[in-house]
């Protein structure tokens, strides 16, 4: 081959390689650019809206306002309670709480992982409206990778979201957070900047950040923590908060770190359960719940205090879903359905059990109603007041539909006893990268989501698909849900 032919051949190859490289680069850049526009677009921040809402909250009569204690566990399964049939774990105090109050057996978290579930709980809104789509990662490479390039979440709960403790502060409550925050690790996303007068706990998971104490709004102290005694420390601070504020209305958000891994238990409880270290942590937090009720009785606050117990999502590596399909970070029942017990002596009738579907963002409107406040009207509040259901004034769910998100994606919907899923990632460990579905389940006869009835009820599937499509369009038109 002549030198001229060789040069032409290499010239063509070089041109082809260059063209492919440039074309590929443009495709990648275009795709990344489009993704970043999608990630950073639609934020629609509106701080004056939040300021106006909070400025309109009236102070209440301290003598008539009830206390509210919201106890949230981390990664606890519906079947981890002995009242739900657990043979390995014994929870006598939670069992007694249910006997004295109401147990909801079809109660859901608003997300299958912790940060968005907590955002939904404290704002009364689907987490996608708050921009908290996934777990807030600690600072560093994971933060930049997951949160910015993948577009999971901002660094914390947006300032224009109005949180339950912020409203309670304006109402005249003393507000406290004991335990896990996980809605931001830096200013302006810290607990004391989002409505809490007192904070003792971890900003992220208990093994990724030192414990902090905020007193009098601004004073910060960091202290070392022996995690074997973490529940003991949390219990101490929760009980002290109740005692210190017994003569004024208070809101206590007791956000337990357990049974999220890594698992620790004190000497008193280590090895005492039949459920391994996981069971030990659950039995110790059950003890802590008992100590809170003991304190309320001693202070004569039983009839003046609404206490709610639930979990942020279903169990992860261990834990009992009560036979439900799926686990944490999956849109199936086992990832979303969680324990929920409420007790308010002489207001909630004892021994009540209801299977009416509800979701943790309902606790926002429920708590406001208990404090004599209406639900905000400047934004979409997805939660509903559950007090009529909890006090046996009705046995019907306040929701016609409940939607289920996995990250930013709307995956499923429940309407009555029917649950429909779009095609989504598999829950089969042998095929983790394959999608499956769509699925249609009748939860009345098949709560474990074992039998797909899509072919038997095509019209119903079409109707539920239309509900999902309509919700998608509404969210795209108004991402933050401003009114």
**CA atoms of 57 and 60, how far apart (whole Å):** 9
83, 98 Cβ separation under 8 angstroms: yes
Active site residue 182: yes
Q: What is the DSSP letter of 175?
A: E
Annotation marks residue 114 as catalytic = yes
Nearest alpha-carbon partner for 205 in 257, 253, 278: 257
Measured at the alpha carbon of residue 200, what is the angle toward residues 198 and 206, in degrees to the nearest 5?
A: 150
Q: Which of 90, 182, 260, 424 is catalytic?
A: 182
If phi > 0 it is left, if psi is from -120 to 50 it is alpha, else beta; for residue 292 that is alpha
Q: How far apart (Å, rounded) are the C-alpha atoms in residues 464 and 462?
A: 6
Measure the CA–CA gap between 406 and 109, rounded to whole angstroms.
Answer: 12
Helix axes 114-123, 164-171, angle to 10 degrees: 30
The catalytic position among 114, 155, 257, 424 is: 114
Nearest to 409 by CA among 462, 358, 472: 472
3-state SS, residue 10: helix
d(CA 177, CA 122): 12
Q: Which residues pair with 311 in a beta bridge?
A: 73
Question: How far apart are the C-alpha atoms of 268 and 229, rounded to whole Å?
Answer: 10
| Beta carbons of 454 and 463 less than 8 angstroms apart | no
Using CA atoms, how far residue 456 sits from 425, 441, 442, 452, in Å, is: 23, 11, 11, 9
Are 76 and 185 in contact, with CB atoms under 8 Å apart? Answer: no
Q: How many CA atoms lie within 13 A of 298 on its CB side?
A: 10
Q: What are the catalytic residues?
A: 114, 182
């Amino acid at each position: 081959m002549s030198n001229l032919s060789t040069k032409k051949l290499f010239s063509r190859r070089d041109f082809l390689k260059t063209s492919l490289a440039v074309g590929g680069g443009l495709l990648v850049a275009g795709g990344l650019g489009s993704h970043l526009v999608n990630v950073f677009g639609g934020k629609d921040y509106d701080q004056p809206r939040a300021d106006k809402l909070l400025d309109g909250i009236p102070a209440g009569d301290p003598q008539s306002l009830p206390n509210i204690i919201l106890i949230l566990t981390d990664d606890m399964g519906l079947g981890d309670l002995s009242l739900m049939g657990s043979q390995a774990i014994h929870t006598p105090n939670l069992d007694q709480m249910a006997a004295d109050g109401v147990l909801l057996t079809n109660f859901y978290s608003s997300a299958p992982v912790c940060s968005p579930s907590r955002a939904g709980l404290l704002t009364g809104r689907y987490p996608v409206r708050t921009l908290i789509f996934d777990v807030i990662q600690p600072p560093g490479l994971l933060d930049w990778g997951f949160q910015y390039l993948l577009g999971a979440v901002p660094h914390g709960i947006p300032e224009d979201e109005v949180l339950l403790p912020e409203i309670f502060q304006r109402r005249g409550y003393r507000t406290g957070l004991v335990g896990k925050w996980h809605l931001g690790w830096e200013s302006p996303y810290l607990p004391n900047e989002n409505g809490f007068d007192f904070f003792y706990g971890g900003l992220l998971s208990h093994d990724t950040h030192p414990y902090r104490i905020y007193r009098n709004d601004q004073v910060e102290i960091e202290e070392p923590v022996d995690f074997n005694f973490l529940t003991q420390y949390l219990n101490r601070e929760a009980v002290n908060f109740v005692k210190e504020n017994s003569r004024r209305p208070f809101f206590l958000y007791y956000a337990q770190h357990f049974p999220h891994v890594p698992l620790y238990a004190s000497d008193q409880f280590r090895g005492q359960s039949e459920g391994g270290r996981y069971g030990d942590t659950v039995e110790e937090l059950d003890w802590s719940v008992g100590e809170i009720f003991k304190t309320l009785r001693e202070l004569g606050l039983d009839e003046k205090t609404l206490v709610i117990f639930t979990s942020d999502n279903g169990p992860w590596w261990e834990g009992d879903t009560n036979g439900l399909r799926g686990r944490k970070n999956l849109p199936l029942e086992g990832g979303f359905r969680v324990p929920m017990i409420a007790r308010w002596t002489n207001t909630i009738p004892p021994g009540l059990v209801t299977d009416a579907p509800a979701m943790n963002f309902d606790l926002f409107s429920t708590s406001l109603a208990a404090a004599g406040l209406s639900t905000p009207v400047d934004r979409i509040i997805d939660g509903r007041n559950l007090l009529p259901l909890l006090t046996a004034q009705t046995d019907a769910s306040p929701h016609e539909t409940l939607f289920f998100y996995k990250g930013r994606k709307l995956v499923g919907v429940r309407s009555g006893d029917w649950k429909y899923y779009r095609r989504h990632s598999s829950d089969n460990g042998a095929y983790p990268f394959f999608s499956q579905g769509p699925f249609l389940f009748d939860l009345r006869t098949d709560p474990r989501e074992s039998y797909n009835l899509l072919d038997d009820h095509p019209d119903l599937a079409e109707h539920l698909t239309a509900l999902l499509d309509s919700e998608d369009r509404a969210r795209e038109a108004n991402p933050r849900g401003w009114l």
